Amino acid sequence: MLEGFFNPKAVAIVGASTHEGKIGHILVKNMLKHGYKGKVFPINPKADEILGLKAYPSLREVNEPIDLAVVAVRPLDVLDVIKQCGERGTRSVIVISAGFKEASSEGARLEQELKRIAKNFGIRILGPNCVGLIDTASKVNASFALGMPEEGNIAFFSQSGAMCIAVLDWALGQKIGFSKFISLGNMADISEIDMLIALGEDKNTRVILGYLEGVNDGRTFMQVAEEVSRKKPIILIKSGTTSAGAKAVSSHTGSLAGSEVAYQAAFKQSGIIRARTITELFNYAIAFASQPLPKGPRVAILTNSGGPGIVAADACEDSYLQLARISSQTVEKLRSFLPPMASFYNPIDIVGDAHVDRYKKALDILMADKDIDATLVLLTPTATIEVDETAKTIVEYAKNKKKPILCSFMGDVQVEKGIRLLKRHGVPNYLCPEDAVSVLEKMWQREHWLSSPRKEYPQISADRSRVRYLLEMAKREEHFHLTEDRAKEIFKAYGFVLPKTKLARTKEEAAAAARSIGFPVAMKVVSPDITHKTDVGGVILDLKSVKEVKEAFTEIMLSVKSKVPKAAIYGISVQEMIQDAKETIIGFTHDPQFGPVIMFGLGGIYVEILKDVTFRIAPISKQEAIEMIREVKSYPLLRGIRGEPAADINALISGLLSLAQLALDFPEIIEAEINPFLVRSDQNGAVAVDARLTIRRE
C-alpha cells in the first residue's frame, strides 16, 4: 500500500528552489544525497537547473512518468499542481505547503477543494502542512528534515510536524535505525489509519511508532489497530489527553480530541502499547525491534553488584512481572563456580570482582533454565570488569532469539563501548534497571495479549422494533430525556429484568398494587417533566404496609405538586423492593470519536466519591465484560467478602453485553444508565431498578 509514496521510480519536486536554505532547495537536496536511484525532476518556471539537474517550468513539460510529486508552492497554487498531476497520471502527492486548515477558514475551504480534486483524479495526498516522508530502504527522502536516519526496522509517523523534526534529530544522534518516517500533516486524505495499514504490510517494518493528537474515525482506527497489532507492535504517544491539552489541540490542528477515558479503553482493546514520553517510546521500540517476546512473566536478574540488583528486583515486584524462583538444581549449578559470597537466588549476584567468565557461565545456566522466561543483565563498571568482553558474550546468547535478554550497563565513560556493541547487535541497554524492567513488562503484556483468544461478540436477541417505536414516540413528543417508564421498557426489550411494577393513580390503586407485588415496596412519581425524582420528594422507599403506602401516595403528590407545579403527573409507580442484592451502575455515553463508551462500577459512593469505575468502547466481548467487572477496586464486594455469597456475575456480564448492543443498534441514544442495577446472589439474576436514557435532539 502507498507504494507510490514509499517506492517511486521517479519523483518531481514542484516548487524546487535554487536558494540554499529554502524548503524547495532542501527537498531536492534530500532526494539527491541519500542514495535514491530513481529520477528526480525539479519543477521551477524561473530556473534552468537546480543542484545539477535540469529544471522544468511545470509538470506538463516532463515527458516521462512521475510516480510521486512533492509540492512546496504557495497554497493558492497547490490546486493547479494537483490538477496537473491528475491529468498526467501522477497518483501520489505530498503537499508540504502550509496555509490550509491549520491557518484560517479560507485555508480550510482550500483544503476541502484540494480533497475534492484529488478524489476525482484518484490521487492520494499526504499533508498538506507536513514535513514529508522518508523511506530508508528505497532511499527516498521526500522531506525537508535535516538528515537521513540509518536503515532499520522501526517506523515512525506523527500528526505533529515538530515532533517529526525533533524525533528525527534525536534519532540521528542516538543512531537509531528506521524503516520509514512519515509526517501526516493535516491529513486531508492519508490518515493515521492508512498509515497503520501500510506499515502493517511493510516488510521492512517490525515496530510501528506514532505520535497521535487525535483520531477522526475511532471505530475504524480500533479495528485496523487490532488487526495490525496482531502482526507487529504499535506503540503510540497520545497527547491532548487533559482538558488543557485538548484546548491546545483544537487550536492547533483543528482535530477533535476525544476524551482520555475513551482513548485509554480504545488502546487497551486494540492492543496498542502506550508510551508517555519520547524516551519511553524508544525504550520500548528498540526492545520490540530486536528481541523475542518472553513466554511468561518470570525474570532472572544477573548482576555484578548488589544495589542495582535490588533496584531491579523492586521494579519487578512493582510490575506484572515476577522474580523467577531459582530452582535448587540451578542454585547448585551456580554454586559450582561462583564464590561463596555470591548470591545464588534472584537477583543472582556474581559480585564485584566478576570477570566475563562468570557472566558467561551464569548465562549458560539461566538461558537453559525452563523456569526463566527473560533475563536482565546488570553491569556496574567495577575495577575488574571486562565490559567489552561481557557485551560480546551477551550478544552471543542473544543470537538464538529464544528468550529476551535486556541489559543495564550502568554508567557512561567506562561502559560506552560495550553499550555500542550491544546496540549494534540488537541487545537493548538502559541506563536504569527500572527502565529495562518496565520494557520487559510491556513485552510480557504483549505476549499475553497475543496469546489470548480472538474476541467474539455474542449475538444479543432483542425486540428492536419495539425500541424503534418507543424512540420514535419520544422524538415526536420531544421528550429527549425519556421518562423512566419508557427507558425501562427499552431496556426490557433488551432482556433486562425490571422490578414488578404497577402504576397507581389513586391511594387505593397504590394499596392494591402493593398487596399484589408483596411488601416492602418503593413508590416513585411518574412524570415526563421530572428527571431527578428524589430532589422533588418524588420517591419513597421501603414501605412495609398498606397504611404506609397510602400515606406515601399523599406525601409524594403534595411534595411534587408544590415543587414542580407545572409537571404533568401520570401517577405513582409502585415497585417491588429488591433485597439482598449488590448495587451496581452500568451505562454508556457517546464519545465523538469512538462512539458508545460503556461504563461499569459499584453503585453509590463507589462511583460518585471514589470514581471506582471502568470503561470500554462498544462492541465488547464477553471476556472484556469480565475484565471490566474484575478491574474495579471494589470487585471483592461482588465476589463476596466475609462469607457472603458471590453476586450473580453472569447476570452482570449479560447486562453489560446487552447495554453495549443497545448502544450500537441505536446511535441516537447518546446517554443511558441503569442505576441501580441490582445484582442478586449466585444465579438469581439482576434487576434494572432505575433507568435513564437520552436521545439526540435532531
Q: How far is the CB of 608 from a second copy (least distance, A)?
A: 7
CA–CA separation, 267 and 617 (whole Å): 10
Binding of residue 313 to a second copy (CB under 8 A): yes
| Least distance from a second copy to the Cβ atom of residue 194, Å | 20
Window of 188-196, 265-273, 275-283, 509-517 that interacts with a second copy by CB under 8 A: 275-283
Alpha-helical runs (H) found in 336-463 = 356-368, 387-398, 416-424, 433-451
Burial of 232-248, coded b for 16+ CB within 10 Å and e otherwise, reads: bbbbbbbbbbeeeebee
> Largest Cα–Cα distance in the chain?
102
Considering only 559, 634, 650, 681, the residue that binds a second copy (CB under 8 A) is 634
Instruction: Give the one residue of 416, 477, 529, 580 binding a second copy; rule: CB under 8 A.
Output: 416
C-alpha cell at 643: 462469607
Question: Closest separation between CB of residue 75 and a second copy, Å?
Answer: 13
**Cβ 329 to a second copy shortest distance, Å:** 20
For position 146 contacting a second copy by CB under 8 A, the verdict is yes
User: Cα–Cα distance between 267 and 22 in angstroms, integer?
Assistant: 40
Buried/exposed 649-658: b ≥16 CB within 10 Å, e otherwise: bbbbbbbbbb
Rule CB under 8 A: choose which of 30, 141, 380, 614 binds a second copy: 380
65 forms beta bridges with none
- For residue 269, give the nearest of 596, 619, 650 by alpha carbon: 619
Q: For the segment 383-412, give every residue that binds a second copy (CB under 8 A).
A: 383, 410-412
Nearer to a second copy, 243 or 400 (CB): 243
When the beta carbons of 314 and 682 are compared against a second copy, the nearer one is 314
Is 156 near a second copy (CB under 8 A)? no
**Gap between the Cα atoms of 468 and 168, Å rounded:** 53
Contact between 162 and a second copy by CB under 8 A: the answer reads yes
Determine, following the binding rule CB under 8 A, whether residue 256 of this chain makes contact with a second copy.
Answer: no
Does 323 interact with a second copy (rule: CB under 8 A)? yes
Which residues 6+ apart lie within 8 Å of 413 measured at CB? none
Residue 432 binding a second copy, by CB under 8 A: yes
Instruction: Collapse the DSSP code of 199 into the 3-class scheme (helix H, G, I; strand E, B; otherwise coil) and give the result.
Output: helix
Based on the shown chain and the rule CB under 8 A, indicate whether residue 161 belongs to the binding site for a second copy.
Answer: yes
Residues 83-102 that bind a second copy (CB under 8 A): 102
Q: Show the site string, 106-145: x = touches a second copy by CB under 8 A, - = not.
A: --------------------------------------x-
**Strand locations in 507-645, DSSP E?**
521-526, 539-543, 571-576, 582-591, 595-602, 613-617
What part of residues 166-185 is at the interface with a second copy (CB under 8 A)?
Answer: 166-174
Among 84, 138, 158, 584, binds a second copy (CB under 8 A): 158
Does 331 sit near a second copy (CB under 8 A)? no
Nearer to a second copy, 20 or 478 (CB): 20
Q: Is 320 in the site for a second copy (CB under 8 A)?
A: no
DSSP notation for 471-531: HHHHHHTT-SB--HHHHHHHHHHTT-B---EEEESSHHHHHHHHHHH-SSEEEEEE-TT-S
Q: For residue 408, what are the β-bridge partners? A: 378
> Mask of contacts with a second copy, 202-231, x by CB under 8 A?
---------x-x------------------
In the block, cell 411534595 appears at 559
Question: Binding to a second copy (CB under 8 A): which residues in 495-534?
Answer: none
Q: According to CB under 8 A, which residues from 337 to 376 bind a second copy?
A: 341, 343, 345-347, 349, 352
Give the Cβ contact number of residue 80 at 10 Å.
14
Alpha-carbon distance of 185 to 178, in angstroms, equals: 20
Site for a second copy in 538-597 (CB under 8 A): none
In whole angstroms, how close is the CB of 62 to a second copy at the nearest point? 27
Is 310 one of the binding residues for a second copy (CB under 8 A)? yes
